């Protein structure tokens, strides 16, 4: 039976996932908690860590611990300053910050990535998943690079080449959907449905794709007007709005690529995230001519394992980072 070699934490704003990994990076056990950095109990980070990982450390006292995500933000356990893009896994290792727990364990916290520029961009946690994807699929480190999408509240799209995150974009698609649904007039005519309406969703994607120059602000009101004119039912409107916003996200990404004489349909592309949401993005990507966008499984665990190995926390064979 495999022996534990590493405790790996994915500690975000609203949740914590802890993995007990063996020497090959395979998860032997996993625990989930709702105690994200903004939802901590009275005892704070240390109490949450002890409640989640204490039993593992009682049984295996010398296990190294690595963590990624918002736990390293200014509001986290200890701040791990961003490293600047372009960044490889070795840059993340160099930026690791340590914090001691009350029991004396050392938690190694992975930094996020900052892209400087007129419109700066940041990520925390996604960088670890991206390096997990690269570790799982060497074809993503091809000469022409690849595109990795991480759908969610703040969707990320990262351009990777030669084992490094070169640049990335953030689309506030999920948060915008929630705000429009819950806090604008669009939500007044919507009814939730237990089953997704794929035709309504794809209608939204196509509307965004073919909208011409007016953009998202000129098209979102159609969620209401199509309902008022009987073209969308109240149950279809949420899926239409979701498709519309994801469609505008992908259209914007496609326009970025077109300036480089490329397109979504021609990129090596992977998705990381919730299966149902990735399925939805796959359906939307197909409307842009991209029919090959597999989901990377276990990207978080693989990324934390790879960084821990590069940092010398565990003895494991790892390819040299760029």
Same domain, 18 and 67: yes
Helix (H, G, I), strand (E, B) or coil at 4: strand
Q: Which parts of the chain fold into alpha helices (H)?
A: 44-59, 89-94, 126-136, 173-183, 198-209, 222-228, 237-258, 275-286, 299-310
Nearest to 290 by CA among 314, 311, 272, 266: 266
The predicted-structure confidence for 85-108, as pLDDT tens digits, reads as follows 999 999 999 999 999 999 999 999
- Judge whether 75 and 18 are in contact, CB under 8 Å: no
Same domain, 238 and 210: yes
Same domain, 176 and 68: no
Cα-Cα-Cα-Cα dihedral sign, residues 25, 30, 36, 37: negative
Residue 141 placed within a domain = no
Same domain, 108 and 177: no
| Over residues 9-21, mean pLDDT | 97
What DSSP string runs through 152-221?
Answer: STTEEEEEEETTEEEEEEEE-HHHHHHHHHHHSGGGGG----SS--HHHHHHHHHHHHT--SS-GGGTTT
Can you give the CATH number for the domain in which 57 is found?
3.30.420.300
Can you give the CATH number for the domain in which 226 is found?
3.30.420.310
Same domain, 114 and 86: yes
Q: What is the pTM of this model?
A: 0.93
- Judge whether 49 and 107 are in contact, CB under 8 Å: yes
**Which range of residues forms the domain containing residue 112?**
4-125+298-310
Same domain, 115 and 223: no
- Lowest-pLDDT range, 25-29, 131-135, 259-263, 309-313? 259-263
Residue appearing with tokens 């070169």: 166
Helix (H, G, I), strand (E, B) or coil at 5: strand
Q: How many domains does the chain have?
A: 2
Residue 164 placed within a domain = no
């Amino acid at each position: 039976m495999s022996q534990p070699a590493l405790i790996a934490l994915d500690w975000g704003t609203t949740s914590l996932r802890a993995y007990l990994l063996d020497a090959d990076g395979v998860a032997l056990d996993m625990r989930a908690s709702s105690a994200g950095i903004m939802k901590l109990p009275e005892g704070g980070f240390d109490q949450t860590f002890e409640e989640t990982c204490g039993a593992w450390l009682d049984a295996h006292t010398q296990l190294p611990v690595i963590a990624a995500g918002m736990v390293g933000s200014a509001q986290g356990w200890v701040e791990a300053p961003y490293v600047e893009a372009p960044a490889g896994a070795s840059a993340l290792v160099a930026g690791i910050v340590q914090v001691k727990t009350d029991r004396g364990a050392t938690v190694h916290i992975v930094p996020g990535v900052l892209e400087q520029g007129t419109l700066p961009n940041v990520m925390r946690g996604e960088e670890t998943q991206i390096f997990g994807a690269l570790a799982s699929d060497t074809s993503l480190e091809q000469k022409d690079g690849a595109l990795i999408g991480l759908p969610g509240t703040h969707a990320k799209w990262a351009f990777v080449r030669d084992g490094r995150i070169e640049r990335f974009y953030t689309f506030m698609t999920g948060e915008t959907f929630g705000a429009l649904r819950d806090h604008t007039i669009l939500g007044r005519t919507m009814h939730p449905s237990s089953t997704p309406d794929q035709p309504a969703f794809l209608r939204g994607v196509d509307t965004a794709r073919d909208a011409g120059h007016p953009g998202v602000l000129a098209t979102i009101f159609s969620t209401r007007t199509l309902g008022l004119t009987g073209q969308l039912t109240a149950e279809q409107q949420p899926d239409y709005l979701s498709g519309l916003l994801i469609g505008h996200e992908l259209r914007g990404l496609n326009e970025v690529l077109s300036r480089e004489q490329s397109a979504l349909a021609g990129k090596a592309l992977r998705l990381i995230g919730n299966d149902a949401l990735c399925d939805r993005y796959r359906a939307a990507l197909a409307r842009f001519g991209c029919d090959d966008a597999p989901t990377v499984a276990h990207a978080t665990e693989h990324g934390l394992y790879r960084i821990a190995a590069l940092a010398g926390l565990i003895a494991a064979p790892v390819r040299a980072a760029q």
